[in-house]
């Protein structure tokens, strides 16, 4: 693509590793914890920006998918917070930044980020569309299993009775299946050399934070 900035995969991978390592370290010390919590929305946004540096082609179909993913993810969270349906009963804390009707605006970005990486990885493993959809949804749930305990501890969001319900993971799977079904309808697949690094990086990041709680 004319005018596209060419940044090596290894350089961006190094940036990601530094980002995760500094993030884990910064959240361990009382002197820096509040600062790093304030940077969480930026952390999620930077992950997505780095990932998109290596996206193959910004077509209308891809833009439509990203927009739909943001809207569906945000809407699902709104339903969850205001009704208890889909994920269970929970409320958002202040950590994730600006909110619209009690839902952080960055949460839609989080859905796009995780769905993008999961869908790309699933597309490399399976050729059959149904298997791609299901495997990508499983990847989303596996990552959420690590995120949830950390998120509650750091006040990203708080569950009723401080218990993470099974309904949450079922809801994550269901919403993910919907999103990945739409991606199959809009286009077959994409390839991004950083998807695995971002997915594994986030998985290890939240796993380490969970172990250090």
pLDDT in tens, the chain (213 residues): 444 556 889 999 999 999 999 999 999 999 999 999 999 999 999 999 999 999 988 888 889 999 999 999 999 999 999 999 999 999 999 999 999 999 999 999 999 999 999 999 999 999 999 999 999 999 999 999 999 999 999 999 999 989 999 999 999 999 999 999 998 888 767 789 999 999 999 999 999 999 998
Please, what sign has the CA dihedral across residues 87, 90, 91, 93? negative
Residue 183: the pLDDT is 87
Q: Is 52 helix (H, G, I), strand (E, B) or coil?
A: helix
Q: Is 155 helix (H, G, I), strand (E, B) or coil?
A: coil
Contact 157, 93 (CB under 8 A): yes
Residue 189: the pLDDT is 72
Q: Rounded to whole angstroms, how far apart are CA atoms 12 and 80?
A: 35
Residue 147: the pLDDT is 98
Residue 187: the pLDDT is 73
Residue 4: the pLDDT is 53
Residue 186: the pLDDT is 82
Q: Where are the domains of the chain?
A: 9-211
Residue 188: the pLDDT is 66
């Amino acid at each position: 693509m004319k005018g596209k900035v060419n940044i090596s995969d290894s350089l961006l991978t190094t940036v990601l590793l530094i980002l995760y390592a500094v993030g884990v370290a910064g959240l361990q010390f009382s002197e820096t914890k509040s600062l790093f919590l304030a940077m969480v929305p930026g952390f999620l946004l930077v992950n997505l920006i780095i990932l998109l540096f290596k996206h193959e082609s910004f077509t209308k179909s891809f833009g439509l998918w990203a927009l739909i993913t943001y809207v569906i993810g945000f809407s699902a969270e709104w339903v969850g917070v205001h009704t208890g349906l889909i994920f269970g009963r929970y409320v958002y804390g202040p950590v994730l930044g600006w909110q619209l009707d009690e839902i952080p605006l960055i949460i839609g970005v989080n859905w796009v980020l995780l769905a993008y990486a999961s869908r790309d990885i699933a597309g490399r493993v399976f050729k059959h569309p149904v298997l791609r959809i299901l495997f990508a949804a499983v990847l989303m749930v596996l990552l959420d299993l690590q995120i949830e305990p950390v998120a509650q501890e750091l006040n990203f969001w708080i569950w009723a009775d401080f218990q993470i319900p099974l309904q949450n993971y079922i809801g994550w799977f269901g919403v993910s299946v919907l999103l990945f079904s739409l991606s199959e309808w809009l286009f077959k697949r994409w390839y991004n050399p950083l998807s695995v690094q971002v997915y594994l990086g986030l998985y290890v990041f939240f796993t380490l934070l969970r172990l250090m709680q």
